[in-house]
């Protein structure tokens, strides 16, 4: 089973700054099978990025994903107060089928 490790655990930045969140996999991940989710307090996770770099419908272009192999990155430009959330990377494995998640990165806005 692929284990996803995110860093940092917590990120505290000011409005307008850039956030960079890393997701490292224990084995090579097929890029189409890597996604990112945003979970705001008291809400369910929301799909942000799929296929490692494709924004989901309605997601602002301030959010971008990149990476391949075992190293993936979520970047959030021009931080806003509404970006306060926990961000998760997620990988799909097809044999056997499974979805696995990173432990999450908490983003705080100063």
Partner 1 sequence: QVQLQQSGPGLVKPSQTLSLTCVISGDSVSTHSGTWNWIRQSPSRGLEWLGRTYYRSIWYNDYAVSVKGRITITPDTSKNQLSLQLNSVTPEDTAVYYCVRGFWIGGTPTLDYWGLGTLVTVSS
By CB under 8 A, is residue 50 in contact with partner 1? yes
Nearest-5° Cα angle at 72, 76 to 18: 20
Judge contact between 62 and 78, C-beta under 8 A. Answer: yes
Question: Which residue from 64, 73, 77, 92 is in contact with partner 1, where contact means CB under 8 A?
Answer: 92
The least CB distance from residue 35 to partner 1, in Å, is 6
By CB under 8 A, is residue 106 in contact with partner 1? no
By CB under 8 A, is residue 38 in contact with partner 1? no
Distance CA 92, CA 99 (A): 5
Distances in whole angstroms, Cα of residue 46 to Cα of each of 8, 14, 35, 54, 57: 20, 23, 11, 14, 11
Question: Which residue from 104, 105, 107, 109 is in contact with partner 1, where contact means CB under 8 A?
Answer: 104
How long, in residues, is the chain?
A: 110
The least CB distance from residue 59 to partner 1, in Å, is 12
Positions in the binding site for partner 1 (CB under 8 A): 32-33, 35, 37, 44-47, 50-51, 54, 56, 88, 90, 92, 96-101, 103-104
């Amino acid at each position: 089973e692929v284990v996803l490790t995110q860093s940092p655990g917590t990120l505290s930045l000011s409005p307008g700054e850039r956030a960079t969140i890393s997701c490292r996999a224990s084995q090579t991940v097929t890029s189409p099978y890597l996604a990112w989710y945003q979970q705001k307090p008291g809400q369910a996770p929301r799909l942000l990025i799929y296929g490692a770099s494709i924004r989901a419908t309605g997601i602002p272009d301030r959010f971008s994903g990149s990476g391949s192999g075992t190293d993936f990155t979520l970047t959030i430009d021009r931080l806003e107060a509404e970006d306060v959330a926990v961000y998760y990377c997620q990988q799909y494995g097809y044999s056997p089928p499974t979805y696995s998640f990173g432990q999450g990165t908490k983003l705080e806005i100063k």
